[in-house]
Amino acid sequence: MADLVQHPDEVRVISQRFGKGAAGIETYLALGGYQSLRKALGMKPDEIINEVKTSALRGRGGAGFPTGMKWSFVPKESAKPKYILVNGDESEPGTCKDRLILEHDPHAVIEGVLIAGLAVGARQGFIYVRGEYRYLVDILRKALDEARAKGFVGKKICGSDVDFEVYWHTGAGAYEVGEESALMESLEGKRGIPRIRPPFPAVVGLWGGPTVINNVETIAAIPHIIEMGGAKYASYGPPKNGGTRLFCLSGHVNKPGVYELPLGYPMKKLIYEVGGGIPGGKKLKAVVPGGSSTFLLTPDEADGINCDFDSFSARGEFLGSGGVVVLDEDTCMVNFALRIMKFYQHESCGWCIPCREGTDWLKKTLTRFHAGGGVDKDIDNILYLSQNMLGRTFCPLGDAAAIPTMSIVKKWRNEFEDHLHGKPCPYESRVWPEPALA
């Protein structure tokens, strides 16, 4: 169980019930729970979708695809059943928001599933929880049982003529399953490897039926949007970047934790005000803006950027999943690159050649390099390999491994050169704490 943090700049929408015991249905109802569901039952599907479109809600998993548009791709008529699938396989290093939602507010997720189902015409929902989050399964199962007992899930929900089933499911622990098509394979009981697209899940998904796949945070925002109205939700953030999001601040900051801030919040303020600055007054060396698969920012870059999807995509980079990792001046960037690559090498599903073999070689080369066995051409080889993984792999995992590596080699090449010729690591042994990645 994680301790909760707070800061005056926070705008608490999704996290408004955190720490209030809303995992129990009585408390949840007392705090206004399942009111949105009742409201949604009285709305037409198109009205719900339009409300979500108005809210400018964008997918919180990392890619930032507009949620309302995603829903509208689902065909109205389908011979096969439609499904709602919640991606709770939160494995992106540095990201830890879904677990808080599922721990403190599981009913919001269930309610979100029900509303999404009403919007697209699905009558079954699945909440897929990461294999390592075993303790959350108990909370979620209890919440589902309670919701069923109260008539929010199951036959004739809320006294309407709608039958809706929601199931929980858990994986065996694989980062790859966070990719939506691999998630479906895993849920169907197969090996967690991605599928060929097209067809996209909105048309052919789980067991061949149209499927909406949303992140836990996205789904948890739905009841609030229905309750407060899309326009109000959108007003929290800059245009086209509706609402608030949970930022998971970790690394070398004084006050790490999950903060709910409006989109477009300046990165500098996030580190120095919300996060309370770097311990020991050390200087900033790098920022991971949204989980380990994003381009790393130098201190200069971090100074001038706002945390919203469009600010990042204007730079050809992306905001990611909200896992902000701060690195101080004592961090060895080679070791950091190695730590990231260890993770991706371990998590590669092995399906396609560039990712399977490429991550393994990068890990081996970086290991040797950091241990002092590097030679000149290794630096270019590391860059060459990661450039040739980028965009060549079956799913984004190869890109995720290539992007941080490329940006580290390009932006901190001098640190690689400092490791050459058998020199020991010139930086302090203080590195990014490993448990954060495990």
- Give the residues lining the site for another protein (CB under 8 A): 174, 176, 191, 196, 345-354, 356-361, 364-365, 368, 375, 377, 381, 384-385, 388, 391-394
Evaluate whether 194 touches 395 at the Cβ level (below 8 Å). yes
Check residue 278 and report its DSSP letter: -
Q: How far is the CB of 394 from another protein (least distance, A)?
A: 6
What's phi and psi for 260, nearest 5 deg?
A: -95, 115
Q: How far is the CB of 220 from another protein (least distance, A)?
A: 30
- In whole angstroms, give the CA distance from residue 141 to residue 171: 15
Q: How far is the CB of 374 from another protein (least distance, A)?
A: 10
CA atoms within 13 A on the CB side of 158: 14
Nearer to another protein, 227 or 378 (CB): 378
Nearer to another protein, 181 or 250 (CB): 181
How far from chain centre, in Å, is Cα 43? 30
- In whole angstroms, give the CA distance from residue 357 to residue 175: 17
Nearer to another protein, 301 or 357 (CB): 357
- In whole angstroms, give the CA distance from residue 11 to residue 22: 18
Sign of CA dihedral 380, 385, 388, 390: negative
Q: How far is the CB of 393 from another protein (least distance, A)?
A: 7
Check residue 352 and report its DSSP letter: S
Nearer to another protein, 336 or 394 (CB): 394
Q: How far is the CB of 342 from another protein (least distance, A)?
A: 11
Nearer to another protein, 255 or 356 (CB): 356
Q: How far is the CB of 175 from another protein (least distance, A)?
A: 10
Nearer to another protein, 17 or 195 (CB): 195
Pick the closest to residue 179 from 272, 72, 85, 40 (CA basis).
85
Nearer to another protein, 198 or 435 (CB): 198
Nearer to another protein, 110 or 382 (CB): 382
Q: How far is the CB of 227 from another protein (least distance, A)?
A: 38
CA distances from 91 to 62, 99, 215, 245, 293 (A): 12, 10, 12, 18, 11
Evaluate whether 337 touches 409 at the Cβ level (below 8 Å). yes
- In whole angstroms, give the CA distance from residue 271 to residue 231: 29
Residue 45 is encoded by which pair of tokens?
Answer: 């599907």
Q: How far is the CB of 310 from another protein (least distance, A)?
A: 18
Nearer to another protein, 247 or 369 (CB): 369
Q: How far is the CB of 409 from another protein (least distance, A)?
A: 15
- In whole angstroms, give the CA distance from residue 373 to residue 251: 28
Burial of 131 (C-beta count, 10 Å sphere; 0-12/13-18/19+): middle
Nearer to another protein, 69 or 375 (CB): 375
Q: How far is the CB of 192 from another protein (least distance, A)?
A: 8
Can you spell out the DSSP letters for 64-88?
--BHHHHHHTS-SS-SSPPEEEEEE
